[in-house]
Structure 1
Amino acid sequence: MNQTIVKNLILFAFLLIFDFAFGQTTDYSGVVIAKSDKTPLPGAIVLVKGTKIGTQTDFDGNFNISVPDSLNTLTISYIGFKTQEIKLDKPRLLEIFLKEDCNICYFDYQDIGVHAMSGVLNNPIGGQLYFSTPAMFGGTTLKTNFAYQTNLKENRFLNSSVSLVHLFMDCGFDLDLKASLRNVNHNNNIDSQSYSFESSINIRGIKLLAGFSTIDYVELDKNKMVKSNGPLVGFGKWLHDPFYAEFKATMSIYRNVSEYQVEVKRNFRRLSTFIRYNKIGGFNEINLGVGYQFNYY
């Protein structure tokens, strides 16, 4: 027997062993489900890790796949969800829960905006300027806002704030901090200055606000003078179809006087609009604003 025949026999034996080792398979079946709301995920990709062996889930999230006995890991992927690896063991009916993925954008507030404002009730002339830039640490953004309105006589309304946005952030969770100053002079009768410090926790599109406020309020015709501290509470939410707007409302409760702020904002590409309602004791104002914003980074 010459060397060529021996080599061929060895190669043939090796191929037989290889085919036997990798030709044995085990059938697995299962269902792929969204962890958040327990709904099935149709069209999820199920692959044997390191191979092109795979399948897709049906309309009800079910799948069947044959896995070589030499391999023991599946990878499951679906758009908008985190890819997951599953180690195969004795159970052949699998129930796989995928977590939602998210893209965290720390720089969504790197913009500048200029607005023209008009108070419907008291201060018809005004404007607003806001500016935001990355802070010096992490992905936090520093945001400033300054708004001023007047009737060119005795009335004026100043509203300014400084915020740290995305102070702590993860998928479905976002924590912001904000400090504000509001000053009102109205008809030579009301003189008010209030400060507030608030934190907002954004959980899956719902914003919960809590903080602390202080006010120095004078209303001459009622002989009313208030210096007080009090809690600040609020609520915010993104309004979907047909509004596509952001809603926010806050309330500060002091001794013998209250302060309310309600705002609805909507953007049309680079055009930004808002409606605000402000009430501080006996002062009320409805503000309409329209302006232009652009990203500088």
Structure 2
Amino acid sequence: MITEPVKISQSDIRRLLSAANPDAALLYLYINSGNRPEDAEADLHFSAPRYGCAAATLRQLGLWPEDRPSHIAPGERPSYCEKDVLDAMDSDNTFRSLYGEVQRLLGRSLNTEELKILLGFVRYLGLTADVISLLVCYCKERARQRGSLRNPSLRTIEKEAYNWAERGIDTVEEAAAFIQAQNVRNSRLSRLMNLIQIRGRSLTAAEERYAQSWLDMGMDDELISMAYERTCLNTGGLNWAYMNKILQRWQQQGFHSAEDVRTGDRKTGVPKGASGQLGEAELEAIQKVLQEG
């Protein structure tokens, strides 16, 4: 086993921490020490499923040494007809079982157009029945989290199926790693929403982009709360663009915790107890950026 010194970027560290998967972190360190991925299972004493899940997590994080190819064939999507569906129902026991399982998960019968979509998942995207079941469950849970009382349509599920195919998700391990990463992401977003006093509603698309960018910066909860407090004191409420400029400036200064900011305040002469206020120069800089943007 090669044990070369490992250099890890802040970006990779944040992505690994966001996944909350120790096996993935260990595999990342192993590979980036100069070892071959195909030797990891034996050297790290991983079982095949354990290795598969760790590798899948790294692929979803974009940290695998080779890009995962898209499973969408070039050219136009094929168009299936009613006869294709009937033939599949008559001759393919796996498709017939999948049809029944998807109906059970969605709590309703599928019409012919929906069966054509389902057939495309299998024949065009190359997804297995197990992966499709996970896909449907994931879409159901996402709809519930967004406040919908109805199960998603096959058209909605189809959009996510193509997203998975573009990401190279075609195994149960890949799907499980993706779902785990999304669950961690949603949990972090929910905690952030509580920190900035947003309750009883979902984030808009623009708000979610801001929130996700803050999490990607690696800011801790106390630092985000401090930025929110300063934003409210200086603008009278939550101003997403204003708070974003504060956090961006702190990131540029290398601040990733509230203690970093307090240390910076002491160095720049911000009075003790003024944690809710920005210095005059910093305020002017932020206001200038906002006016220009």
TM-score range with shorter-chain normalisation? Answer: under 0.3
- Structure with the bigger RCO (C-alpha within 8 Å, sep 6+) is 2
> TM-score, normalised on structure 2?
0.22
> TM-score, normalised on structure 1?
0.22
Which structure has the larger Rg?
Answer: 1
- Structure that is richer in strand per residue: 1
- Structure that is richer in helix per residue: 2
